[in-house]
Structure formats: C-alpha cells, structure tokens
Structure 1
Amino acid sequence: MDIANDRKEIIRVLNDLIETSKDGEAGFKVCAGDVKRPDLKDLFIERSRECGSAAAELQRAVLELGGKPEGRTSVGGALHRHWVDLKSLVTGKDEEAILNECERGEDLAKNHYAKALHHELPTDIRAMVQRQYEGVLRNHDQIKALRNVERARARA
C-alpha cells in the first residue's frame, strides 16, 4: 500500500471512530433525559461530554492528516437512540432497561475501537485511540456494574 492509500485508510478508520463517539455522545444524552435518578443523569451527561471530546480529538487528527472529518452520527446510532426512546416509553423509563441499552451501546463502541486497533496506525494516533479505548472499557464496566446493582435492587 502506498502512503496516499495508507493515509486514506487511517482517515477512514478515524472517521468510523468519530461516528462511534458521536453515537455515544447522542446516546448518553438521550439516556440522561430518560432517567429519573440524579446520579445517573449526571453520569450520562458526563459520559456524553467525554464522547464529544473524543470525537473532537479524532476530528483534529483527521484534519491534520488532510482529510475531511466525519461530523454526524451513524444510521445505526440513530436507530439505537430511537430504540432507547421507544424502550423507555414502554418500560416507564426503567433504569435497568436504560442501563442495559447504555451497556449495549458501549459494547458496540468497544468493538469499533478494538477493530481500529488492528489497523496499522502511526504511533501518536495509536496512542490516542488506545487511550480512548481504555475509556470506553471503563465506561462499559461502570455501566454494567450499575446495571447489575439496579437489577438486584429490582429483584429484591
């Protein structure tokens, strides 16, 4: 592969992660609007901000590579947010159901980041993607733990 094609591939990988981060930003915002508990609302707002910051960092990297950064969410992300909305209406905005959907969204993000890390990336970009991936893993584990607590509470 030549340098121009390498650069295009790196930009494509980063744009995929931008969509993933934008999906997370929008998804967590929806979840923040759906939950009643102030601690979960605050958590989801913070996660939304973190995803937005990650997207902005990725967009800057794409610009530095001479590419056009993605600026919108994916179709799949939009469908996921609509599913969260529909599910929360049906379940009466049940925290466990919302946390389940957040975990599902973080599962998708984990997969996208893991896939990105299988590509040949310049050292500085790889370090950024790895750092963001570690943040996704922490988010996933925290959401899963909160979901498990909520599940136990609902069954008690």
Structure 2
Amino acid sequence: MIGSDKDISTLNSLIKTTIDSVNGYQESAEAVESERFKSMFRELAQDRQQVVPKLQAEVSRMGGNPEDDGSTAAAMHRGWVDLKSAITGRDDKAIINEVERGEDYIKGKFEDALNSGDLSPECRNTVQQCYESVRRGHDRVSELKHAMEGTH
C-alpha cells in the first residue's frame, strides 16, 4: 500500500522523537545515582525501543523509507536539550525534571498527530497503539517527579 506523504512524514517525525527519548532514557540511566531510577529509566528505554519498529513497519508498509536514527545533535528536540547539563551535575531531581520535560514533548507530539485529523485510519491506529506506551511512560515519570517534589 502506498501511504500519503502526510502519514509517512508524521510517522518519521514520531520515529525520530521516539529514538531521541530512548537515547535520553539511556543517558539518564547512566547519570542518576539511585539504582531505583537507573532501573526505571532502563525499563522505560526498553519499552520505548519497542515503539520504534512498530512505527517503522507502518512507514515501510506504506511504501516509505522509515527513519532509523534520532534527530541530529543540533536539532535535538527541545525536551531533552537541558538533559546534558542536568547530567553534568548528577542531580537526580534535576535529571528527572528534564526527563519529564522530554516526556511532555513526546506525548504532545503523539497527541498532535492523533488530533490533527490528517492521518489515514490505518496510520492513526498505529499511532494510537504506540501512544499508549508513550502515555504510560510519561505518567510514570510525572508521578515520580511529583513524589520527589516533597523532598529536599
């Protein structure tokens, strides 16, 4: 099946952002001090990694060339930009704040795609399935951040 350019473009954009979030989780897992947070970030990276091939398969099914890399360092999405500085300080709370910003960003991108009304039903179904994983990850990080706000 040949998909619309809009479907393929949207899916490829979501692939890039999803790969960026996998990389962000992996960097965060290496940077945090808490073993609990390390484990959680590794688990979330693994969950998010499972989203990528689903999106890529849909692009291929539509006759497009799926992205296989995140965005370039210069254009890395806004949500993960400050992660490096938080990691440098090795402050778990700062890292979690930046991870949550990244999660807000990716969740928003998936919601924008779903709410656009521009996607074919098949493409929308794939995005919706992947969004469920994104939403769960977002909610876990958000709960963690809010639980930590009472500390310090």
The RMSD of aligned alpha carbons is 2.1
Gaps of 5+ in 2: none
Larger Rg: 1
Pair 1:42-2:24 in alignment: no
Distance 1:12 1:119, change over 3 A: farther
Pair 1:84-2:79 in alignment: no
- TM-score, normalised to structure 1, is 0.85
**Contact 1:19/1:74 (<8 A) preserved:** yes
Residue 52 (structure 1) aligned to one of 49, 52, 63: 49
Match of residue 22 from structure 1 = 19
Higher helix share: 1
Deviation at 1:148, TM superposition (A): 1.8
Same amino acid, percent of matched pairs = 31
Q: Aligned to 1:62, what secondary structure does the other structure show?
A: helix
Distance 1:82 1:9, change over 3 A: closer
Q: Which moved more, 1:79-88 or 1:102-111?
A: 79-88
* Aligned residue pair count: 149
**Contact 1:26/1:81 (<8 A) preserved:** no
Deviation at 1:20, TM superposition (A): 1.1
Match of residue 143 from structure 1 = 141
Gaps of 5+ in 1: none
Deviation at 1:23, TM superposition (A): 0.7
- TM-score, normalised to structure 2, is 0.87
Q: Aligned to 1:9, what secondary structure does the other structure show?
A: helix
Deviation at 1:79, TM superposition (A): 7.0
